[in-house]
Amino acid sequence: MPSAPVAVVLRGIAGRMGREVVRALAEDADLHLTSGVERGGHPALGTCIAGVPVTADLRGCLGAGAVVVDFTVPEATREHARIAAESGAPFVSGTTGLSEEGLAALREAARRIPLLHAPNMSLGVALLSRLLREATRALPDYDVEILEMHHRHKVDAPSGTALRWAELIAAARTGLRCVHGRAGHTGERPRDEIGMHALRGGDVVGEHEVIFAGPGERVILAHRAESRAAFAGGVLAAVHFVATHAPGFYGMEDVLT
């Protein structure tokens, strides 16, 4: 007998990513959008989006087995992960810009529920994260620079993906520190830097590049999100993942087979 589709509660349903996830969910017969959550005072409250009611009350939406998907703002993510943990609802969050305390709150919630948080939901970026570790170890003497570019509306910089990549490069090669941009008489480039450069403008969905520069060559690992569909596809994979896994704190690399 076929199993019932997994219920999905979408936080930030009226936002840019929320709308993209709504489109993607409509293509997946094994997932079923049951409600949308928006911030208090949002004009979409009390209306329907894609046939489901939009409410400000997350707790009221959490039926048995429902998975919460969150694309909102860091302060709200932290609070709603706590509510999901109280209700035993698996949680997928792509919200970026969380502080150390915010991430610690997600880890705390993940003791009770499967919780996947990823600053970039694309499966391509998850794959690149794996390759980056390998490249960092294989090219220990090469200079590392990270470039990212996003649309002019993005409110945090550098991007969550760029920060995550800097972390994993620093974990694979000890003694590196991040330097954000360069200006003035900087002197020669020290060997212990990861150069980080955040570009903003237009409607660029998301571009990331890591350059390993060595004698006579550059190795460039790059990802270009052509549309938000790249993130939404990963969100669906993440929902299927948390719906079938034990409590724990997961990332998109865990979703890759």
Q: Which is nearer to ligand NAD, 142 or 148 (CB)?
A: 148
Residues that bind ligand NAD (CB under 6 A): 11-12, 14-18, 37-39, 42, 71-73, 76, 94-97, 118-121, 231
Q: Which is nearer to ligand NAD, 70 or 145 (CB)?
A: 70
Smallest distance, Å, CB 208 to ligand NAD?
11
The catalytically annotated residue of 80, 117, 150, 208 is 150
Smallest distance, Å, CB 156 to ligand NAD?
6
Smallest distance, Å, CB 130 to ligand NAD?
17
User: What is the DSSP track for the chain?
Assistant: -PPPPEEEEEETTTSHHHHHHHHHHTT-TTEEEEEEE--TT-TTTTSEETTEEEES-SGGG--TTPEEEE-S-HHHHHHHHHHHHHHT--EEE------HHHHHHHHHHTTTSEEEE-S---HHHHHHHHHHHHHHHH-TTSEEEEEEEE-TT--SSS-HHHHHHHHHHHHHSTT-EEEE---SS--SPPTTEEEEEEEE-TT--EEEEEEEEETTEEEEEEEEE-STHHHHHHHHHHHHHHHTS-SEEE-HHHH--
Smallest distance, Å, CB 58 to ligand NAD?
7
Please indicate whether residue 32 is annotated as part of the active site.
no
Q: Which is nearer to ligand NAD, 17 or 243 (CB)?
A: 17
Please indicate whether residue 197 is annotated as part of the active site.
no
Q: Which is nearer to ligand NAD, 7 or 21 (CB)?
A: 21
The catalytically annotated residue of 32, 154, 197, 245 is 154
Q: Mind telling me the catalytic residues? A: 150, 154
